[in-house]
Structure 1
Amino acid sequence: MATLRVRHPRGVTSIQIDVDSDNVKVSDLQQTIFSATEIPPSLQALKTGYPPKSLTMIPQLPITSLGLQKGDQLIVTQMDGTASGTSLSSLPPKIAPSNSLGINASSSISPSSIPSGKQALGDEYVVTDGGVLVHRVVPDDNSCLFSSIGVVFEQDMGAAPRLRQLVANIIRNDPESYPDVLLGRPREDYIKTILSPNSWGGAIELAIFASHYKAEISSIDVETGRVDRFGEGSDYPMRAILLYSGIHYDATSLAPTPGAPADFHETLFPL
């Protein structure tokens, strides 16, 4: 066990956690910090080192991915984030999609001033200069990430079993890129788990899908406004946008009109 010194808005606290174990996840550190600071994991912003540098917190990865050492000091602040739920109409302007959708990321338009409603698919939408941006809700059945990927890349919400198998095959056939230390457990155990319809997908799967489809995947955390970009810097020509509530993923698409059938929706946007 290592002692880490945590500076946070309420003071300074020392926490104990094993920073050298691949069995300890980043999410375990976040929960420990939550116990000490009462800052929810989804709102935690961490920095360490001198000068302080931000840590990329991917809950599913082992804590060793952060490179922390015994005695390190963590600076923890709370990010702004008061939105709840996954409605597109509740997204703050700072996380609006790219200008290719006709939305200016620096716009001061408030969410309440954006025309919104329900469309033929039963999903919520917002009207943009480039069309109607639709929140494509997928089933809440532990396969939401895979179903959302199926919508944006395959136009198939029922593709989850096939996409799970795709991930399993890629991990199995490329042990150098996906070693046990990255997966946080033995590879065959990880493969068995990801093939189960009861297991969730996360950052590892999103990175795999970005590479497989040769497109950046932007995952927008609707609670905090954070955008995690998978495949960023790979010079991919297109981007897909997912919405993440902290426990659930949904897809997005761009329709010409509110009532347009799904066949007329665009799900990939030029970078």
Structure 2
Amino acid sequence: MRLKVSGFPNGGADKVVSIDNGSSLNQLVKHLELSDECNLIAIRFGYPPQRVEIGEVALETSLEDLGLSSGERVNLVLEGGTMAAPVKRKDPVLKPSQTWIETSDGERRILQVHKVPDDNSCLFHAISWCMYKDISLSYQLRELCSRVIVEHPMVYSDAILGRPNREYSEWILKRDSWGGGIELAILSNELQMGIYVLDIDAIKFEKFNDDLYDKFFVILFNGVHYDAIETDDGICVFDKRDEMGDLILKNVLNIARQLKEKCYAFNTQKAKIICNICKEKFVGERDIAKHAEKTGHTDFGQSS
């Protein structure tokens, strides 16, 4: 488990600490090696912020049972009931792929794009990162889609798939096959998670199962490539019932607008797209996907 810890005495710098899964709060406190003069009385973490008082029961409780997860930001609360004052720093200059979010209690976070490899499996990479913070599980998501398609031939009929059910189920297992709406719908159901796809060109969400699940994550689509959305402390999954979920949905639109202004989006239905490797031109995502599958080329741009 990795945690970003802030609020050290005397404005000490934030630290990223690694601690074994299953560790107790007491083990975390010992790991921080705070001085004897530092009287830690509580920790704060999460959205909305939770406060855990330092006491005998809490110290013996595992971090997971307290509600902490890997990637969490933990603020130390010192004697007096306030967090140690951090060193005043100038706000960093943000990239077009980043924007600020601020909660009602004044906490600020950066919302940003997490880039995944551009290798024809970007949809699966983006979902794998949002769910597991690890893209090595991308192929397992392909296998999951393939299995669901075979098991439900009436739902995923030849007409829906555009090819025979069995053929499609084998095709999606190929690493150079592009995933799309069918795979998004399947994975949303199987993961029991809303998947919100933000089209950068249209500045519009396509939401999968937002009516069924409160938890969700956001992935960006620029017409030919998917990327994940996360906060700067590594949170990808949000809850539409709380303040942070609402802030994510509002502020991620700023990122989409900024990226569109930087010509990061392609309108594959109207604009001509060029393969930057062989210079062949296309109109429509289907033709681009077929070309990528046939040649292995993944570097596309908008043709003049």
TM-score of the pair, normalised by structure 2:
0.45
CA shift for structure 1 position 215:
1.2
Q: 1:42-100: per-residue Cα shift (whole Å, max 9, x none)?
A: xxxxxxxxxxxxxxxxxxxxxxxxxxxxxxxxxxxxxxxxxxxxxxxxxxxxxxxxxx9
Map 1:157-196; keep pairs closer than 5 Å: 157-196=135-174
Q: 1:98-148: per-residue Cα shift (whole Å, max 9, x none)?
A: xx99xxxxxxxxxxxx97536xxxx94222114211200001000000000
- Of residues 215, 228, 238, the one that matches 1:238 is 215
Amino acid corresponding to residue 139 of structure 1 in structure 2: P
Give, in whole Å, the separation in 2 of the partners of 1:116 and 1:187.
Answer: 50
Give, in whole Å, the separation in 2 of the partners of 1:183 and 1:154.
Answer: 28
> Where does residue 229 of structure 1 map in the other structure?
207
Change (3 A) 1:239 1:223: same
Percentage of identical aligned residues: 33
SS in 2 for 1:128: strand
Whether 2:141 is the aligned partner of 1:141: answer: no
SS in 2 for 1:147: helix
SS in 2 for 1:211: helix
Give, in whole Å, the separation in 2 of the partners of 1:191 and 1:172.
Answer: 6
Give, in whole Å, the separation in 1 of the partners of 2:186 and 2:221.
Answer: 18
Are the equivalent residues in 2 in contact too, given 1:138–1:147 (CA < 8 A)?
Answer: yes
Give, in whole Å, the separation in 2 of the partners of 1:116 and 1:239.
Answer: 28
SS in 2 for 1:233: coil
Are the equivalent residues in 2 in contact too, given 1:215–1:231 (CA < 8 A)?
Answer: yes
Whether 2:195 is the aligned partner of 1:255: answer: no
Map 1:1-271; keep pairs closer than 5 Å: 117=94, 124-130=97-103, 131-234=109-212, 236-256=213-233, 265-271=234-240
> Where does residue 37 of structure 2 map in the other structure?
none
Q: What's the C-alpha RMSD, in Å, of the aligned pairs?
A: 2.2
Change (3 A) 1:202 1:116: farther
Amino acid corresponding to residue 188 of structure 2 in structure 1: A
Give the total of aligned pairs: 147
CA shift for structure 1 position 164:
0.6
Which protein has the larger Cα radius of gyration, Structure 1 or Structure 2? 2
Q: Which runs of 4+ in 1 moved over 2 A?
A: 114-118
Are the equivalent residues in 2 in contact too, given 1:116–1:126 (CA < 8 A)?
Answer: no
Change (3 A) 1:169 1:134: same
Q: Mind listing any 5+ residue stretches in structure 2 that lack a counterpart?
A: 1-46, 49-90, 104-108, 241-304
Give, in whole Å, the separation in 1 of the partners of 2:182 and 2:202.
Answer: 21
